[in-house]
A and B are shown apart, each in its own frame.
Chain A
Amino acid sequence: MRRASLILVPYLWLLALFAVPFVIVLKISLSDIAIAMPPYAPNWEPSDGVAAFREFLSGLDFENYVWLSEDALYWKSALSSLKIAVISTFLTLLLAFPIAYGIANASTDWRPVLLMLVILPFWTSFLIRVYSWMGILSNTGLLNQFLMWTGVINDPLQIINTDIAVYIGIVYTYLPFMILPIYAALDRLDMSILEAAQDLGCTRITAFWLVTIPLAKQGIIAGCFLVFIPALGEYVIPYLLGGSNTLMIGKVLMNEFSANRDWPVASAVAIILLLILVVPIVLFQRNEQRLREVGA
């Protein structure tokens, strides 16, 4: 009984915060746009009765999904989002790994300070930090002024309103999410294992590839997911830093929802986004499970 109630808590949590909103969004995505409040139809209230519910169900269809497949904008933005998310995840990894490695190998006095510095940016609003990147990257911004002052360039670089600015924004924002799990994995690593690798004939570099990387794998994978998933649906960064050419599915979704006030299509986009994310996660977990079974 006690056990059952303990297990119940996370399930209730999931039900309230994931399943219920998901069903609502799914239902809206199957509805039609209506100039009303709420801006979609059909609707059903429990007071309407069972017959009305049947009528309500017959009013739902996949029209919006058909529409999404017909208009190239949607799959192009989905692809573009994927590309941006993959590349920025990779760039974040390249930057985060040395940082995590450095922190893990720092003296115990320094480690808490360095970890604090990694987390420190969260103390400021995310929006303010992205706005300040506008100030840094714009044509008259700090970066261009500095580069022109040193004489490296004569004309300002066009960074803001390009995909590059989006990459910079995503890498900057999600860097801590990559550093922390990799640090955790490296911190657990027993230094004598690296010494054993050297003792058995590895140079420092081969020991790194053959031992450190495989043992940090779990942290790297966790970090990549923590960056990739939010980056894929990112809206604020491409909206503020990217140009009109930067296509991202989050931006499209927001556009449908607020500018076009087309809640059903926006919901359909949200469902598609969710599917894009769920498929790799499920595949990844299956793979992990299989590996565990083979190992046992």
Chain B
Amino acid sequence: MIQTELASWDDPETRPLIEFVNVTKRFGDFTAIDNQSLKIYKGEFFALLGPSGCGKTTMMRMLAGFEMPTEGTIRIDGLDVSTVPPNKRAVNMMFQSYALFPHLSVWDNIAFGLRREGKSGQALTARVEEMLRLTRMEKFARRKPHQISGGQRQRVALARSLAKAPKLLLLDEPLGALDKKLRQETQFELMDIQESTGTTFVIVTHDQEEAMTVASRVAVMDEGKLVQVATPDVIYEAPNSIYVADFIGDVSLISGVAKSRVPSDVAPQDSAGGQPSAQQQDTPRQPQPNAFGAWLHDTVFEPVLGARSKSDEQAVEPAQQEDTVTDTVRELPAGGIAIHWADGQDPIIATNADPCLDGKTVNFSIRPEKIGISKARPDALNAFQGKVIDIAYLGHVSTYHVVLTNGLKIMAQVSNTRRISRRSITWEDDVWISFSSTAGVALEH
């Protein structure tokens, strides 16, 4: 993430808007939140992400004031709110079920909180109209909640919770009841509204895509604990545990014993497949057009310039090529670890891993889109042979399930820049999978 200024969560000077200090919440014998601390800053769009029952809703309900912490302190804007009832907090919540008042019109629903503040007349009307405009519900102001669609109800709920201009808005699975298309649209709407109002949003969701899309920071939760709190890219690229890696997106896990690599350590010494073939070494790599360039050539320039020379098509996708080029065996980067994951197989080289893991059993976690797949042995540091057992065609991408010689299953994802009929790899094909030495992460637990 490129940022010129220090993000508020990285700046020790910034005072957090919300502070959980060693908060524990128990319901009878059950510990919903286990001694957790967390800071959320002003203007953040913060996501609490986890499977159901992980405690994310409890965290939110404690912020709203519906639950009191059993131990520890919660501060909002520096004030301890542990015993402040919900109606006395500058916090509003958008409920999962929307919880609109069925006996009141859309207009009166939005005005409800303002009226409790004692607002009336011109000021009330102006604020309600403003909220109706913000959520584009002006036309439906006189309708009752049962007379509008699910998406409209969601917007009314949002308008109602924003009407009092809270310091903090809590959103409990706000888009769970919407269909996928509408959900995606609404995610961007939510981000726009969050930006234009400058309100701090805390969203609870079990949908990792939703959390990644909307949030500035994500807290991944499991069994009452915050497993990792970081920006979406860090969560995705550098998960701190198998749990996080597995929960966010698809991942292949390879377990093995780590061995630290000394700078002098040279490439895998075995000759069978370790060294690229002489032919490959000698021939300089041909520049290849990308998908658009190829299309442009084929449709526009071909009649004029003639067919372009199609050297054997490189199945490794452009994104991987950059890495694979720099990671050729000749320029083997130093450091990191080698993971011995199967007898008779080359170790996996992970140059970004901590050498301190030496001797420990680690799980090497790698995302499917970081793995290239090709029929010929690619010119990559980490390349392994396998067989395609399954192909999941998702339209824009295809996921190849490749089983390695020792039976381990690995997923490789390739963008479908070409039409499916030109797909060169199919079921039962013997293939090579490859990835760069920084593509994955080695996780200890």
Contacts and interface: CB of A to CB of B under 8 A. Distances in A.
A214 B116 CA distance: 17
Contacts of A210: 112
B382 to A, nearest CB: 51
A195 interface: yes
A197 B103 CA distance: 13
B103 A215 contact: yes
B99 A201 contact: no
A214 B103 contact: yes
B66 interface: yes
Interface string B182-196: 000000000000000
A190 B99 contact: yes
Given A195-B95, A211-B101, A202 B87 contact: yes
A198 B144 contact: no
A186 to B, nearest CB: 14
Contacts of A200: 87, 92, 112-113, 116, 160, 164
A250 B160 CA distance: 53
The interface size bin for chain B is 20 to 34
A151 interface: no
A284 B96 CA distance: 36
Contacts of B103: 214-215, 217
Given A190-B99, A192-B95, A211-B101, A199 B147 contact: no
A196 B87 contact: no
Interface in A196-234: 196-203, 206, 210-211, 214-215, 217
Nearest to A207: B87
Interface of A is mostly: helix
B345 interface: no
B113 A190 contact: no
Contacts of A201: 87, 113, 116-117, 164
Interface string B84-109: 01110001110111011111000000
A142 B355 CA distance: 89
A15 to B, nearest CB: 36
B371 interface: no
B16 to A, nearest CB: 22
A203 B116 CA distance: 10
B112 A199 contact: no
A295 interface: yes
Contact of A199 (B86, B101, B117, B144): B86
A296 B160 CA distance: 22
A214 B117 CA distance: 21
Given A199-B92, A295-B147, A215 B102 contact: yes
B164 A296 contact: no
18 contacts: A192-B95, A195-B86, A195-B95, A196-B100, A196-B160, A197-B112, A198-B66, A198-B86, A199-B86, A199-B87, A199-B91, A200-B87, A200-B112, A200-B113, A201-B87, A202-B87, A210-B112, A295-B147
Given A199-B64, A199-B86, 18 more contacts: A190-B97, A192-B96, A192-B99, A193-B99, A193-B101, A195-B64, A195-B95, A196-B99, A199-B93, A199-B161, A200-B116, A200-B160, A200-B164, A201-B113, A201-B116, A202-B87, A202-B116, A217-B103
